[in-house]
Chain A
């Protein structure tokens, strides 16, 4: 294909926002139902699990986009850069490095999270409900693993939104890029709050 690398990079950037970014926000908001009680969470989780065409939705909206984003992302994080934050300690250079670190954390987390929930449910070892997550999150190690991972994922999403705006030529002038920075910092705090509140709620007991 002509311009293969160009096309892959564009696709990588696009998939990060649509559908992956949207999925992440949706996932955290659905989980946030736990704040209104165990019943409320189970109802929401069951609704999502019983959506029509759910397997097709999962494959085309979640699995394939994440797989593509992750594979190219690992290549971008490991094969290309010479990290030089020591010599050039500018804000954006730190964001650049953190974007790659949080990307790797996200990948490790997703692999584990899918194994611990989706795969275990499919194998019939556990039920998909409030207790599954409460059991996991009441172990201190997993509590902190989930907290750190959610912060990393939301950072990766918020900073990725900023890069998306630059890569697609939306924010061009330094002023526009600065304002998009402020907006994405806001996104980071709001979405992080939703995720962390949910995790803590699971440890409060029903």
Chain B
């Protein structure tokens, strides 16, 4: 039998939330068109490292396998992205995998994205329509605006923008680009617009929109191509107008 071609993976591992990270190398049998997830599955099938020692299988998170859920995001060769969409043939070797350590690491490549959901709570990233009786249909949205808003709605809370952002880390309270862009999305919705100022107030709280340092990595790395920096600048303007309304007074301040 011909020699089996292999791919080398160097993986940053961590046994638990409080343990120290370490690197482990694996040689994985190559198959054409394999992605990073299928390589991790090979390790799961046969958890033996490059020294031939039996080890624990590398843990990771995944769900949709088609780059719409965001669960499998990790740092691949230094850049945060989804591992399902990372084809081994297109990667420099050895392939280096690491968790997105802007977030607390749970184990190996699994991280806890809680802060992103807290951020969505801070900016009230939803349209409140629940009540005790039927309020009837809301205002209609122009088709052109719907198409525009659809681009912003593609956010899957994957965390890649937060990982790439130099201002997001365990020392800072900055909520990150994703939530700021969501505030813009819901503020442009005809019904969501009715609670516009509540979201802007959220953006003016600690860790809000001015925590941005304009490094603009977010817009470069966003797998969905969301215009995050435009959203941030837009919310900069909107919060400014809101603070003028709050201070000088306005009948439209809500």
Contacts and interface: CB of A to CB of B under 8 A. Distances in A.
B221 A177 contact: no
B210 A10 contact: yes
Nearest to B172: A80
Contacts of A93: 166, 215-217
Contacts of A172: 230, 233-234, 237
Interface string A137-172: 000000000000000000000000011001111111
A87 interface: yes
Nearest to B232: A166
A96 B215 CA distance: 5
A90 B172 CA distance: 22
Contacts of A82: 102, 166, 169
Interface residues of B, number: 38
A174 B231 CA distance: 10
Contacts, number: 107
Interface stretch (A1-9, A32-40, A187-195): A1-9
Nearest to A90: B220
Interface string B193-217: 0000000000011111011111111
Interface string B160-188: 00001011010110100000000000000
A168 B237 contact: yes
B122 interface: no
Contacts of B213: 76, 80-81, 96
Given A10-B210, A168-B237, A81 B217 contact: no
A3 B204 contact: yes
Given A80-B172, A90-B217, A169 B229 contact: no
A88 B164 contact: yes
A9 B169 CA distance: 18
Contact of A88 (B205, B206, B207, B221): B221
Interface string B70-107: 00000100110000000000000000000000100000
Interface residues of A, number: 35
A50 interface: no
Nearest to A9: B210
B171 A80 contact: yes
B230 A174 contact: yes
Interface in B114-145: none
A9 B205 CA distance: 12
Given A93-B215, A96-B214, A166-B214, A86 B78 contact: yes
A8 to B, nearest CB: 9
Interface of B: 75, 78-79, 102, 164, 166-167, 169, 171-172, 174, 204-208, 210-217, 220-221, 227, 229-230, 232-234, 236-240, 243
Closest 8 CB pairs of A and B: A169-B237, A96-B215, A92-B216, A9-B210, A172-B233, A169-B236, A87-B78, A81-B166
22 contacts: A3-B204, A4-B206, A5-B210, A10-B240, A79-B171, A80-B171, A80-B213, A81-B167, A82-B166, A84-B164, A93-B166, A93-B215, A96-B216, A163-B214, A166-B232, A166-B233, A167-B212, A167-B236, A169-B233, A169-B236, A170-B237, A172-B233
